[in-house]
A = this chain, B = another copy of it.
C-alpha cells in the first residue's frame, strides 16, 4: 500500500525551482497530493509555490499579486513575489479564484447572427473594452432553433459575471428572466420595452429623420418605407421615426411594408410586395442596408433604375455598401462605439454603485436603467438623387 504513496513519481517540463518547492512542501502537508497524478494536463505553478519561492505565506503572495491590496505588503515582499512569478512562470488559476470569489472575469455575449456585418464591429468594441480590465467575452451566435434562454443558462453555469445581449426582441423573455434573477445585463443595438434593463442603442428616430429630410430636401414627396421586423425595437422605432419625420414635412407615407428579416432576400421580397400594391413613390427609406440592397435588386429586375427613377436610402453603413452599384446613401451608426459603451456600462454595473450598495435583483436601480443613445449621421452617396422632373 505504501508503495503507491510516493510523491509525484514523474515530473516533466517543470522548472527546477518549482519541483524543489513542491518537494519541500510535501513534508509539511497532510498526505501528499495523490490527485496530482493523471491530470489532463500538467498544472503550472500555484500560489503556494510562489509563496514558498518568495519565502512568505500564500496569503501574503496573494495580496502582493492583487493590485487592489498590493500596497498592504512591504516593497521587499512584493519584489520577491514578482520574481517568483517570473521564474516559475506563474499564472493565476481563475477557476479557483472564481470559485472562491464568485466572479469569473468573463461576460456572456449573445448575438443573433455574427455574419450580419452590423455585429462584428460591435463585438470588437465589446472585446476591446473588456480587455482593458483583463476580462473576456464568451460569444454565442444564436442561430435559429437554438434557444437563447438555454444558451444563457449554460453561460450562467459557466459563471459569467454578466451579459451583453444583442438579440433582444421588444418583448424579450430572456432579458426579463435574467433581470429578475438579479443578473447584470446590458442590451446593445436592440432593446426590450420593459425599460428596466440598460441599453446602448443608436437614435433610430433621428436616423430616419436624417434619411427623410435628405430625400425631401431633394424634392421627393412620395416616399415609401421598407420596415424592419416589428418585433425588434430597431424595426419598430425606425418605422415610427419614418412616419414622424414625414409628418413634420406634412407628408404622408406613400406606403410601408414590413420585412420578415434584415436580409437582402427579405428586402427584395418586401419591395416586390410594395410594387404589387401599385403605389407610386420616388423615394424609399429602408430600415437597413441589406434590405436596401434587396430593394435595389428587385427594382432592377423590374426595370426601375436607381437613383434615376427611384432614390433609396439605407441604414447602418455596412462595410462595402460604398462599393455596391449604385453606392448606397445610408445612415451611419456607431457600431464599434455601441459595443464599447455597452461593455463599459456593464463593467460599471459590476464594480460600481450597484455592486454592494443594493443587492442587485429586480428594482435594484430605482432611478430607472441607464440608456445610452448614440447619434447616427447621414452618408450621401449615389443611390439618392432629386426625383425626375
Q: Report the count of interface residues on A (CB-CB < 8 A).
A: 67
**Least Cβ–Cβ distance between A118 and chain B, in angstroms:** 11
Is the Cβ of A158 less than 8 Å from the Cβ of B143?
no
A361 at the B interface (CB under 8 A): yes
Is the Cβ of A155 less than 8 Å from the Cβ of B138?
no
Chain B residues near A217: list those with CB within 8 A: none
Copies in the complex: 2
Is the Cβ of A157 less than 8 Å from the Cβ of B12?
no
Q: How far is the CA of A158 from the CA of B96 in the complex (A)?
A: 10
The answer, among B94, B99, B155, B320, for a CB contact under 8 Å with A96, is B99
Is the Cβ of B141 less than 8 Å from the Cβ of A127?
yes
Is the Cβ of A114 less than 8 Å from the Cβ of B105?
no
The answer, among B91, B131, B140, B356, for a CB contact under 8 Å with A157, is B91
Q: How far is the CA of A361 from the CA of B103 in the complex (A)?
A: 31
Comparing A39-47, A51-59, A190-198, A254-262, the segment that makes contact with chain B is A39-47
A155 touching B136 in the complex, CB below 8 Å, given contacts A99-B95, A117-B319, A182-B13: yes
Chain B residues near A141: list those with CB within 8 A: 123-124, 127-128
Query: What residue in chain B is nearest A155 (Cβ atoms)?
Result: B136
A134 at the B interface (CB under 8 A): yes
- A: which residues have CB within 8 A of B? 12-13, 38-43, 91-96, 98-99, 101-106, 114-115, 117, 119-121, 123-124, 127-128, 131, 134, 136-141, 143, 146, 151, 153-159, 181-183, 293, 297, 318-321, 323-325, 355-356, 359-361
Q: Can you give 7 A-B contacts (C-beta < 8 A)?
A: A13-B181, A42-B359, A91-B153, A93-B159, A95-B98, A136-B158, A137-B138
